Chain A
């Protein structure tokens, strides 16, 4: 089946062209992730990166396909574009002009896209300025400067290079969306994350063979990873289908019920965004603590208690994810608008009055779905951390010490396994992959009718 689909892809000229185009563009993107920006000493950079693995910086590095670590021209990746589109999306809610524009059809959409591009440039300029100033302060472990010739020249050059790089990546993404297959922007992120996979597998493998890692762990881990992935796929596909009927049409004699028309509400409407919101908030205390240094002991304590593996961290993390799930859903999905939209086109939920009551109904269903969705999101996000750092039972109030005395160390200390795909990455990768496959499928679908004609019963007469 799989090989057949694969063969089909290459049997259809248009599809073949699109797929190849997509890969070609992604290849271009990869090249840009390796070419370093001018003025940075690559030797020092490498040493520095080795040092920084596992910090927030490492986390960001994953998303940019280690372009950040290479101090490459594409360091900013597609980040500014995404930031810009989220900002604009939020602003459409706030600014009436944008709201009107978003409803004005094709022309309005084009305009918003245009604004998104401009904003992307602004964001990337800000970010590259930050990067430039930060980078030129760094010194390697041996005391040598990361940037041999710091100063205004370097800063300007970096801003120019990174901003241009970002604009180029944005263009690549748009080209893929238009002439390739799938959503270009998502695919670029996807490529960035997945590119590190082979080396991570190799790394795990070599650690297992060299004895640094219990081979048994690997044996357990692989099926576990697969199970988690399957679970995510399952949850991401889950939706509640609210039947919607249209009163306008009767086809022939047959009246079709609402089995084909429905409003699909996803269990996880907000996607990965709530997790990102939550994790960025939880990072704040440790950043502040790091900034203030040891002179502020109470800040330090707070930061310590919020560190990876701490009970308080898990608690707050889960709570934040749940909160942001509801928050984000309320921003992107408005039951009132949906009900209004349905009413305008003559649709209704059987048995429920259109308008306000429909909105209430949708709202109620959505709230329940989101609760499940947010629990699922927290589980998926916490799991990898649990694997890595364990659950520091000793810090649980009152019963902590007692628990710690008999709980096995792989729970309290974690397995020390760097789950290559953290919760967020896993969610993104699965989401993009599913999307991509669906797009491919919709293109392939037409070719799969062959049976309809081929199932030949072209035979001679009997007898």
Chain B
């Protein structure tokens, strides 16, 4: 029997409809059944085990529902795992496997054996022969897990494949034909996109989707969900003024020529800035129609200079720009900023211009994953994401208890008034603990911060290893040593998710000594926007029943707190004067936690809004996709050309029915893809303008839906027109069926990449969720006399208030300067 400790508060939440399942009693019976069957299977020879599995497979293929096969299947896997790997899945893992098959995200802490647990539902669902994808966190894990778990599947007569970057289409096709395929969501998504553009059935690599298990589900399904996968083609360099603009922008002064908003999400030129830029570029009115491209590039250059920071948002390595993922702290292969911004950034850093091209297709991970009829997931931090997992994917969260009790101690935050004091305290704390030889892992927010801390530690005579996006090549080595005696590891978010720190490395004696010292000590130097990231960091300690401690050091000057105005949240009387000692005040701690909750809530709201906007487009994409597949597979026959009568007959007489039809299919597909690509741009445009509609007093979402739907309905006519026009061109051009001459040659080469869709912390979403005044109570119908009196009062008030001054540059800068000054002074007085 597997049980969670459940508090009454959690019970109450469950009653109120929380999608978090803590009560595991429902799993007792199947668990017992699996156990009973296991005893029956134990004496069988490998051959007989295979026969049993094959019998199960025959039943599955004959259409027997999965429920009937589940317990027997799981027992088989359990037995096979024991024989092949010497690992017998614990009851906890079996319960997780049962939940996974029912379509849930299971919360299992680090080191509890997610990989092995996933084998059971993967095996069960693969029996029908329709293919199962296990979506791993990265390519390395895909290869490792497929190799590691492969013997289990093979013993039971199923095939296993894996996909990694750089594989050929044939290799991929073979991997996807396997019963179980280990692949990253990214690669599977890119293959899906390539399939979307295929012009021949035999070029398709995917089979229809059936079932997928996502590892690190919250990261994949929530944090990365909005990242669009993009397939692009046909390189054509644009000569751009990016370099010139980068130089120009570098000279502008903050506060005078441009202003940045309080959240660091937006930057805009001021009047003075406009004057200066217009003079420098000698382009006349920058906002005039003919300068649109220039302005766009200028805006990109400005964003690149002001809002994106080297060694935080990206790194430059080997003359290339590499994007750092905000949540994992890793360099993400193949990720780009949106087109113009990428160019601007490359100009800013003076690196070689990468390739760019026309976007042929794109899909967000969220919608790609939603394309699986059934989905399950595993992660260490599911509870915080439970609401969204339910909203977006209809997935419940099932919490699986650890096999051995978790004994890590999470200490309350140590809060400082200013950053310098915090940093000193962190160094002191590390030095103090390090003296005992206990391993320490310190998590920082950015690459720059990790390096600063390392330098300071070196100054204090504490040797340390730095793990960040810049030296990810040494990741495995650094992580392997992080749990050893005397190890001090400074890391970005990279050492969060998926990093397995083994105490004492592989040496049992050293393990014992490290345990005696109290296990791994995790220090966080910042709260992250998402509590899940903090929890992942803490989760590095206390793995598999090991001891451990975790503690966060925070200052009131940390980005998160400043950006969201925690100072405002904390009542003045609790706002301590700057000092070197930590503040020991529960109110302050509570408010900090609240700030994080507010930020999380806002981000959640943004994601939800964006999801609402993406939903109708996704529906359209599916419709179009189905139509495309039908054309591609020849299930639907195009007939637009046929209706042309005589010219068509002549063409058929000349080239044969098949050739003409093939050409028509190819042309139709090309027109369809092009129309869709244009439609997507239209949609992006419309979405951007939606908040204006809100200002105008209409509901932006309704407006968006109606408008995109109208545009989509026009699409069909446009495609037909294009196909007909192509025919006319053929007929006029002497009847040659030359796609290239028609301008329908597919891109010479395609490549895929991810777009950092909202580099500025999803400002688009913030825009859409912003105050729309909805229908402003049409109902305001019933104004009553008391209101009139009120109006008089309001009017008096308004009159008393000085008229709002026009916002001028000087005012804004003085205030913001004043703030900075205050802080600077404050910090100085304390430190000196």
Contacts and interface: CB of A to CB of B under 8 A. Distances in A.
A106 B768 CA distance: 12
A151 interface: no
A25 to B, nearest CB: 15
Contacts of B696: 239, 263-266
Interface in B539-554: none
B520 to A, nearest CB: 36
Interface in A239-255: 239, 244-255
Interface stretch (A196-204, A272-280, A290-298): A272-280
B602 interface: yes
B810 to A, nearest CB: 13
A313 B701 CA distance: 42
Contacts of B192: none
B695 A262 contact: no
B35 interface: no
A386 interface: no
A338 B773 CA distance: 13
A317 interface: no
A341 B769 CA distance: 13
Interface residues of A, number: 105
B516 to A, nearest CB: 46
B435 interface: no
Interface string B719-730: 000000000000
Contacts of B285: 351
Nearest to A277: B783
Contact of A249 (B238, B338, B692, B784): B338
B90 interface: no
Interface residues of B, number: 100
B780 interface: yes
Given A105-B605, A247-B298, A351-B285, A272 B657 contact: no
B692 A260 contact: no
Interface in B256-303: 261, 266, 268-271, 274, 285, 287-289, 292-293, 295-296, 298-300, 303
Given A255-B292, A441-B706, A248 B684 contact: no
A355 B806 CA distance: 9
B299 A248 contact: yes
Given A255-B292, A265-B696, A247 B299 contact: yes
Contacts of A448: 709, 713
Nearest to B232: A252
A378 B371 CA distance: 55
Nearest to B564: A104
Interface stretch (A7-15, A213-221, A405-413, A428-436): A428-436
A246 B688 contact: yes
A106 B292 CA distance: 35
Interface stretch (A26-34, A35-43, A78-86, A299-307): A78-86
B783 A83 contact: yes
Given A94-B794, A260-B689, A353-B274, A276 B775 contact: no
A93 B787 CA distance: 15
A338 B635 CA distance: 52
Given A248-B299, A353-B271, A189 B781 contact: yes
Given A94-B797, A261-B688, A273-B780, A344 B785 contact: no
Contacts of A114: none
A262 B689 contact: yes
A105 B778 contact: no
The 7 lowest CB-CB distance pairs between A and B, nearest first, are A261-B689, A264-B696, A445-B709, A251-B681, A276-B783, A247-B299, A442-B705
Given A93-B794, A352-B287, 17 more contacts: A79-B782, A83-B784, A90-B794, A103-B771, A109-B771, A186-B775, A251-B685, A252-B339, A255-B292, A265-B696, A277-B783, A351-B288, A428-B779, A432-B779, A435-B775, A451-B713, A452-B623
19 contacts: A94-B798, A127-B784, A183-B778, A249-B338, A250-B293, A251-B685, A252-B359, A252-B681, A273-B780, A277-B791, A350-B287, A353-B287, A438-B702, A442-B701, A445-B706, A445-B709, A449-B623, A452-B623, A463-B657
